[in-house]
Structure 1
């Protein structure tokens, strides 16, 4: 299990991660989400001991990274697939890592087969495509058969078959009881892969809950109802009946009705009682992408002015109020922890999360290649978004540049 408590990282007077606390438990795939510059890569580097926290602590199986016994055999990581000596063959690269960690050479051939690179094992990695480099990085992470795995954008550059393979691999590793922590910007893939989500924005915790609860909390479910187009009086009769029963009814552009606040069976019963024929009665639930966009819309640093003028920003559900400050859904749930507001002129307060999970055995340090995180590159046609106004909320700590806090 990975546990962070009050984790903070500052670069001079800039704060990349502030008072971040969460737990990553074994047996499930935990997605790590957040906009560019939110501090995801910095957090992962602190977990692996590559960066030292300014304050707070992070442990793996109860031990800080630097004090883990037999580290490379217990934790595998993929942070930067390009952190490979381009002149080495793929097999030699893995063989060097295995020898440094006391891993048998036969394991190198095993992981090459797992990631599908056995036919190019004798080729130099500098000639690899982006997807092949990702597979080599995943092989390095799996080399020590670790119990804890961290992946930063593992499907970057992979084709559809490769993406499906990574998805199945993550699920299989979690099903074996391993701790799997995955950072990604592909919401559709996270919806299919992750069981639990940790979302951060501007270095602070936004959400820590299951994927299903995250979507439900940050979206408005509704039913889509359609009556015969040639009988508008039936549409009006149904609208009156649903409104009287406590539902919220809004017209759609194509003539259908959007109904909120009533379950499907209740809508069907009301239509039957009103003697109204239905051409359509279907449920709608927001996708993970929609819920994520609504959750993080106040934590995006770079937003295209063209999109704003064109009205392409993700709309809020009908009747919902736009957030004035970063929400923290999940309050009161087991394991939930909200950081206190930043304090001026001193170290942030330090508090532990609620009830900790069951103790885990000693895990280890990364067996895969490390390296500094690749910087985030903002769209050259984008401009920083206007600062969000949050009444009665203290100013959030300043952030590092995107290349320092991703």
Structure 2
């Protein structure tokens, strides 16, 4: 028997297990349940003497694990199926464990046959699949023919046939009077395997009871009632009669009625008295998964959020628009103005005005290369307007400037002084028209 009394384990400021007390009795499969991070693995490590408790104690048969005489022959455990030297064959791995514990070599071949690895006994374990590694770990736990067995996720990686084999193995070991302690996240498998449950959350005990009692205590049993689909008036009549009899009636999505507060014989009598024919009258009890989720919903540390990837493709709301970059202020995406042209003036960019990302201003007259160019200060990163000719590349540290861009019209730049007369864009310098200079 395994007994924990006031078991507590702290790692610095984090408390992994707090004041945990329970008993694992022989002759039954005891399931050990809890969300990720609830302290199950830490508890098992303390049972096996791999971690020292900060407070409290845990014993096996009345003794701490480290004080058990020839502990490997009394306690078998599977905590990490990957804890195997990959260069050793399955048989040599088990043989080394047997020699350390004084177990006869013939036992190695016996457990290899039990777990079904006799055909790959001479193959190196580094080539094993996850399921084969699990079988090898179970063989190591059974090697000493112990009376106490601990398994952490024993069906991880097994195929359906392997899961059924582990289920039958656990039941057979418990039927022989052994103590079997199994940790698992597969609720459907625990419902079929375990006789008793110990549930913890955030290091504290939540439940210590049989599977049947656990489901009844953490679920609301109800009855499903269905009337002929061709006569909807009977459904309403039955619902009213059941409510008058003291039941609580809720409609189901498939047209049936969910009734609580009345036993099945009473529901049948009410329907008979009301003259309503029934197509279905069946009891419903929550599954272990439903009961477990109800019990541990307040002790889950890691929850998923709604996938927001689709939202990344939506435009930002108006109040969340990034600030408009202003030339000369040193933003990372600063757009450098073009250099002055011959006989012209520097390009003046207003700090406020039509460059709010709502409507791109018009550069040049319609039909010109710069007409209706996209606004470089819209939501996207600034880009140079299109021009007929590509401007020479700007020096390092300054983005490329457009070759020919007329200043904005006076009505588009209220904060800048519009020139009285805007000369046409100066022609390109003569040296750029020469092929030898253009290079």
Instruction: Kindly tell me the number of residue pairs found equivalent between the two proteins.
Output: 393
Contact 2:327–2:336 at 8 Å: present in 1 too? no
- Aligned to 1:92, what secondary structure does the other structure show? helix
Deviation at 1:364, TM superposition (A): 90
**CA shift in 2, pair 1:176/1:86, >3 Å:** same
Contact 1:30–1:197 at 8 Å: present in 2 too? yes
- Structure 1 stretch 74-83 or stretch 278-287: which is displaced more? 278-287
Q: How does 1:6-405 map to 2 (within 5 A)?
A: 6-306=6-306
Deviation at 1:262, TM superposition (A): 1.2
**CA shift in 2, pair 1:272/1:370, >3 Å:** farther
**CA shift in 2, pair 1:364/1:21, >3 Å:** farther
Task: Output the CA distance in 1 between the equivalents of 2:220 and 2:11.
Answer: 39
Task: Output the CA distance in 2 between the equivalents of 1:201 and 1:43.
Answer: 12
- Structure 1 stretch 381-390 or stretch 61-70: which is displaced more? 381-390
Deviation at 1:265, TM superposition (A): 1.4
Contact 1:60–1:364 at 8 Å: present in 2 too? no
> Per-residue displacement from partner, 1:265-296 (whole Å, max 9, x unpaired)?
11111111111101111111111111111111
Deviation at 1:189, TM superposition (A): 0.5
Contact 1:207–1:328 at 8 Å: present in 2 too? no
- Structure 1 stretch 103-112 or stretch 313-322: which is displaced more? 313-322
Unaligned residue ranges in structure 1 (runs of 5+):
373-378
Task: Output the CA distance in 1 between the equivalents of 2:273 and 2:69.
Answer: 69
Contact 2:327–2:349 at 8 Å: present in 1 too? no
Deviation at 1:198, TM superposition (A): 0.4
Deviation at 1:231, TM superposition (A): 2.3
- Normalising by structure 2, report the TM-score: 0.70
Higher Cα radius of gyration: 2
Task: Output the CA distance in 2 between the equivalents of 1:184 and 1:368.
Answer: 72
Task: Output the CA distance in 1 between the equivalents of 2:368 and 2:80.
Answer: 9
> Per-residue displacement from partner, 1:191-250 (whole Å, max 9, x unpaired)?
110001100000000111111111111111111101122323322221122112221111
**CA shift in 2, pair 1:368/1:316, >3 Å:** closer
Deviation at 1:57, TM superposition (A): 0.3
Contact 1:89–1:125 at 8 Å: present in 2 too? yes
**CA shift in 2, pair 1:134/1:370, >3 Å:** farther
- Normalising by structure 1, report the TM-score: 0.75
Task: Output the CA distance in 2 between the equivalents of 1:352 and 1:22.
Answer: 75
- Aligned to 1:336, what secondary structure does the other structure show? coil
- Root-mean-square deviation (CA, aligned residues, Å) is 25.0
Contact 1:19–1:350 at 8 Å: present in 2 too? no
Task: Output the CA distance in 2 between the equivalents of 1:147 and 1:335.
Answer: 71
- Aligned to 2:111, what secondary structure does the other structure show? helix
- Aligned to 2:329, what secondary structure does the other structure show? coil
Unaligned residue ranges in structure 2 (runs of 5+):
355-359, 382-393, 405-428
Deviation at 1:317, TM superposition (A): 38
Contact 2:78–2:141 at 8 Å: present in 1 too? yes
Contact 1:131–1:158 at 8 Å: present in 2 too? yes
**CA shift in 2, pair 1:77/1:217, >3 Å:** same
Contact 2:4–2:59 at 8 Å: present in 1 too? yes
- Aligned to 2:258, what secondary structure does the other structure show? strand
**CA shift in 2, pair 1:38/1:92, >3 Å:** same
Task: Output the CA distance in 1 between the equivalents of 2:65 and 2:8.
Answer: 16
Contact 1:27–1:174 at 8 Å: present in 2 too? yes
Task: Output the CA distance in 1 between the equivalents of 2:3 and 2:362.
Answer: 13
Task: Output the CA distance in 1 between the equivalents of 2:168 and 2:247.
Answer: 41
Task: Output the CA distance in 1 between the equivalents of 2:108 and 2:288.
Answer: 37
Deviation at 1:252, TM superposition (A): 1.2
Contact 1:138–1:154 at 8 Å: present in 2 too? yes
Contact 1:147–1:363 at 8 Å: present in 2 too? no
- Aligned to 2:17, what secondary structure does the other structure show? strand
Contact 2:337–2:401 at 8 Å: present in 1 too? no
- Aligned to 2:281, what secondary structure does the other structure show? strand
Task: Output the CA distance in 2 between the equivalents of 1:122 and 1:27.
Answer: 35
Contact 1:30–1:198 at 8 Å: present in 2 too? yes
